Amino acid sequence: MSESKITVYPSRAFKDNAKLALTDDKLRRSLRGSMDFLMAKRLAAFPDEAELSTLRTLGEGIRQRCLSRLPELLEQLEEKLTANGVQVHWAETAEEANRIIHGIVAGRQGKLMVKGKSMVSEEIELNHYLADQDVEAVESDMGEYIVQLAGEKPTHIIMPAIHKTKQDIARLFHEQLPDTPYTEDVDALIQIGRRVLRRKFLDADIGLSGVNFAVAETGTLCLVENEGNGRMCTTVPDVHVAITGIEKVVEKLEDVVPLYSLLTRSAIGQPITTYFNMISGPRKPGEKDGPREMHLVLLDNGRSQAYADEQLRKTLQCIRCGACMNHCPVYTRIGGHAYGTTYPGPIGEIISPHLMGLENTQDLPTASSLCGACGEVCPVRIPIPEMLMRLREESQRPAGEWVAHPLRGQGAAASGAENLAWKGWRLVNASPNLYRLFGWAATRLRRHAPKNQLGWTQNHLPLKPAPKTLHELLREREESKGESA
């Protein structure tokens, strides 16, 4: 399979991307239907509000406890994995992670890598790096495979091809896969994909996977999936490479249970996924399957910047469920590609500035209505609106101003005209005489103000009247009876 060139959606062009996405009626219909379905599934998965609240509190506590001991737990994880026969690699940047993984592939003279779902590998753009080194990397998650075949990036962290209709996929398979007839039958399309990928699993030199939870206590990598491709990637090839961000470590195996319950129910409304893989090392003597060699790449790539700040550290609590996207009124209307980042939606707005710098993501913290829906549904209670406000402040803070933990790209969104306006506002409100003068002038010059107040008068829809209460309906009925009499 030849990989198409992925369309580039620069994060710095967010506003233009969003305007373009809003003109795509098919995209908006697809997203609206999908998001409504996912919101309903999540709601049904948590019928007991008291249980949900308790579980969220427990999940939040686990993530905060583990993050408070992150350096220590990472060292413990490395020690346990090494004792289990796993080779652990540390990567500070995306470039370093790519070089490490390519070095493992080149050391085995590999030419084909089959990949399970891994957002971190998307983050470092591993597929393109390997392609430049004449190594083919094939996505085996069906959604990831579809967007790879289409030459696109994933639009959602859980469902990468959620923006595609069955007609889109039918046409894609017919055009890109030799001797494939056009069919819109979903089961037939899945079988077509499985037939292609089955051969890849057998021929692959290297298998790569992500990690949902890395347990420091036992040196265990936990992998959550529904399709079985993750298990194939981690057991069929002779070499298994896992890659994860440093924040995914948890202290104990018992910590995984509540986080797993929160993850699956928040993501797609399932009480449990079809597969839950626990990997603690390569194949041992006498065992009949599993990789003969195993590696773990621990990636920083800006996460230490978030970790250094006590408030922004909460960003790293994320368990990548995607619930914030499903409930976000902005994401629901424009989709993931408009953000131009690996992680779109509310979680992308607060983590991408650390991974890419505020100079490349300055519009993302403002890509929110601050309605609070993302914070309300986050299973580990990340205060996303609070994080957005902080990042907005940092993007406006003068680059030379000293702060305890400066962010890369600090002050990228600062505007001279805006700063001058705020200085004027402060000056007027600090002086009683200027304030009275401003009030006098404003009342006399208001006739020069525009008649249409931008979005409010042009786009404001009147609120629907509140439904009548039972008491009001009964009273109206009695009154109508009296009038009839």
DSSP H helical ranges for 180-255: 186-203, 229-235
Amino acid at 74: L
DSSP 447: G
Q: Residue 254 and residue 59: Cα distance in Å, rounded? A: 12
Nearest to 258 by CA among 485, 108, 106, 63: 63
Nearest to 370 by CA among 349, 353, 352, 355: 349
DSSP H helical ranges for 335-431: 345-356, 358-361, 373-377, 384-396, 416-430
Amino acid at 57: T
Axis crossing angle, helix 25-45 with helix 14-22, rounded to the nearest 10: 90
Calculate the alpha carbon distances from 476 to 375, 467, 470, 482, 485 in Å.
41, 14, 10, 10, 14
Does 362 score more than 80 pLDDT?
Answer: yes
Other C-beta atoms lying within 10 Å of the C-beta of residue 473: 11
DSSP 327: T
In degrees, rounded to 5, the angle at the alpha carbon of residue 58 between the alpha carbons of residues 53 and 62 is: 150
Other C-beta atoms lying within 10 Å of the C-beta of residue 448: 6
pLDDT value for 399: 82
Q: Residue 476 and residue 472: Cα distance in Å, rounded? A: 6
Lowest mean pLDDT among 19-28, 162-171, 338-347, 447-456: 447-456
Calculate the alpha carbon distances from 271 to 138, 247, 263 in Å.
30, 24, 9
Q: Residue 139 and residue 4: Cα distance in Å, rounded? A: 13
Does 1 score more than 50 pLDDT?
Answer: no
- What is the chain's length? 485
pLDDT value for 464: 56
pLDDT tens-place string over residues 450-462: 766 555 455 455 5
Distance of CA 394 to the CA centre of its chain: 22
pLDDT tens-place string over residues 43-61: 999 999 999 999 999 999 9
pLDDT tens-place string over residues 425-446: 999 999 999 999 999 988 888 7
Query: Do 148 and 139 touch, CB atoms closer than 8 A?
Result: yes
pLDDT tens-place string over residues 19-49: 999 999 999 988 999 999 999 999 999 999 9
* Residue 288: band (very low, low, confident or very high) from pLDDT cuts 50, 70, 90: confident
pLDDT tens-place string over residues 64-104: 999 999 999 999 999 999 999 999 999 999 999 999 999 99
Pairing of the two strands 220-225 and 213-215: antiparallel
Calculate the alpha carbon distances from 441 to 26, 167, 445, 449 in Å.
50, 61, 6, 12
Q: Which two tokens stand for residue 206?
A: 């290297």
Q: Which residues pair with 297 in a beta bridge?
A: 89, 243
Q: Residue 252 and residue 41: Cα distance in Å, rounded? A: 30
